[in-house]
A = this chain, B = another copy of it.
Amino acid sequence: MGGDNAPASVIDGADIAKAQAPHIEFIFVGDESRVRPLLVQTRHLQNAEILHTDVAVAAGDTASHAVRRGRDSSMWVAIAQVADKKADAVVSAGNTGALMAMSKLQLRTMPGVTRPAIAGFFPTEQKRMCMLDLGANLECDEDNLVQFALMGQAFYHSLVGKENPSVALLNVGSEEQKGHEYLRLAAQELSDKQLGVNYIGFVEGSDLVKGGVDIVVTDGFSGNIALKTAEGVAGLFATLLRRCFKASLPAKLGYLLARGALKNFRTKMDPRRYNGAVFLGLNGIAVKSHGGTDAVGFANAIDVAMNLVGHGFIPDVSSAIEKADRMRAKRKNVNE
């Protein structure tokens, strides 16, 4: 029931996903009187299961309010399906703060993980890049950032298949002496060869889209600012470009001629292709779709969830965290 176009975009997105991967079974949690008529109109989901509840978390609810009052809400019940092993993953376009808070309560944080984080993909010049944290933790220390790097690697590996993907820390400059103290400490720890992280150093905001690194680690405040700034600028460019192709008759003709090439460009930058942010560090898979996306975008978020289920993502995260913990204990022993 979450997101600007719910439940239609959720159901239509599931229909697209089902067409591509017929083995997925969906449980729709929400108001049956609104969900059923939409399911009947789908191609592949006429008989899908519905768990009825007419309570829904609102976009403006605070996380604490949602958690206190929302135990009957569609969001809570959907996450409960994962906690109760009745579902492999939950996908929602609803209130991010509430989804994180409820997921933490029901799925619980993995042993050893101090703070779960939100990870998502960015388009770059060459390939896609993953960034975390995108907003779960406004203030972070060096230990959080090191854990984010490890969880990000497991996440990237599950979705892209690359072994030991590269990691960078987001900073205001690439020189070693720059930035917050905790960034320098995290850099030091990530550079430790024994940790085995393919750490490449600091990157700046302007490097994010260059594609020189697989995973960019940052605190949730900066990550959120960077993500939304990038979305805003990309949106502005698209708007101005559209306007410019309508500005004159020659421009309109030019658009018709260049349309094929422009379509590739548009596809590459289409934010729907990058939809689906994942909560890392929980004992279960929870994917957050952008609230403003459509069916195609929502289908992509489902695809992200599917890939994580299929690629042993949870055990991968857990073993990376354990390894780092062992190393830290060892270092502590040496120092004592």
Q: Which residues of A contact B (CB under 8 A)?
A: 60, 62, 124-125, 135, 138-139, 170, 172, 175, 177, 179-180, 204-210, 218, 220-222, 224-237, 239-241, 244-245, 247-248, 250-251, 253-262, 264-265, 268-269
Question: What are 23 sample pairs from A and B whose C-beta atoms fall under 8 A apart?
Answer: A60-B175, A125-B236, A138-B179, A172-B220, A172-B225, A204-B225, A205-B225, A205-B229, A208-B232, A225-B226, A230-B233, A233-B233, A233-B234, A233-B237, A241-B265, A247-B261, A251-B258, A254-B254, A254-B255, A254-B257, A254-B261, A257-B257, A258-B258
Tell whether, in the assembled complex, residue A258 and residue B261 are in contact, meaning their CB atoms are under 8 Å apart: no
Tell whether, in the assembled complex, residue B251 and residue A232 are in contact, meaning their CB atoms are under 8 Å apart: no
A179, A256, A258, A268: which has the most chain B beta carbons within 10 Å? A258
Docked CA distance A125–B254 (Å): 23
Docked CA distance A255–B261 (Å): 11
Pick the residue among B172, B256, B268 that contacts A221 (CB under 8 A).
B172
Docked CA distance A206–B227 (Å): 8
Docked CA distance A264–B232 (Å): 20
> A312 CB to closest chain B CB, in angstroms?
32
Which residue of B has the minimal Cβ distance to A123?
B236
> A102 CB to closest chain B CB, in angstroms?
18
Tell whether, in the assembled complex, residue B227 and residue A205 are in contact, meaning their CB atoms are under 8 Å apart: yes
Q: For A265, what are the chain B residues with a Cβ–Cβ distance below 8 Å?
A: 240-241, 244
> A331 CB to closest chain B CB, in angstroms?
28
Q: For A172, what are the chain B residues with a Cβ–Cβ distance below 8 Å?
A: 135, 138, 220-221, 224-225
Tell whether, in the assembled complex, residue A205 and residue B221 are in contact, meaning their CB atoms are under 8 Å apart: no
Which residue of B has the minimal Cβ distance to A172?
B224
Q: For A251, what are the chain B residues with a Cβ–Cβ distance below 8 Å?
A: 257-258, 260-262
Q: For A264, what are the chain B residues with a Cβ–Cβ distance below 8 Å?
A: 244, 247
Docked CA distance A226–B180 (Å): 16
Tell whether, in the assembled complex, residue A232 and residue B257 are in contact, meaning their CB atoms are under 8 Å apart: no
Q: For A232, what are the chain B residues with a Cβ–Cβ distance below 8 Å?
A: 205-210, 230
Tell whether, in the assembled complex, residue B245 and residue A228 are in contact, meaning their CB atoms are under 8 Å apart: no
Which residue of B has the minimal Cβ distance to A250?
B257
Which residue of B has the minimal Cβ distance to A266?
B244
Tell whether, in the assembled complex, residue A244 and residue B258 are in contact, meaning their CB atoms are under 8 Å apart: yes
Q: A240-B268, A250-B260, A254-B258 are in contact. List 15 more A-B contacts (CB 8 A).
A: A205-B230, A206-B228, A206-B232, A225-B229, A229-B229, A229-B233, A230-B232, A241-B265, A244-B261, A244-B262, A247-B264, A251-B257, A251-B261, A253-B257, A258-B258
Which residue of B has the minimal Cβ distance to A237?
B237
Tell whether, in the assembled complex, residue B239 and residue A224 are in contact, meaning their CB atoms are under 8 Å apart: no
> A134 CB to closest chain B CB, in angstroms?
9
Tell whether, in the assembled complex, residue B228 and residue A225 are in contact, meaning their CB atoms are under 8 Å apart: no
Tell whether, in the assembled complex, residue B125 and residue A240 are in contact, meaning their CB atoms are under 8 Å apart: yes
Tell whether, in the assembled complex, residue B179 and residue A205 are in contact, meaning their CB atoms are under 8 Å apart: no
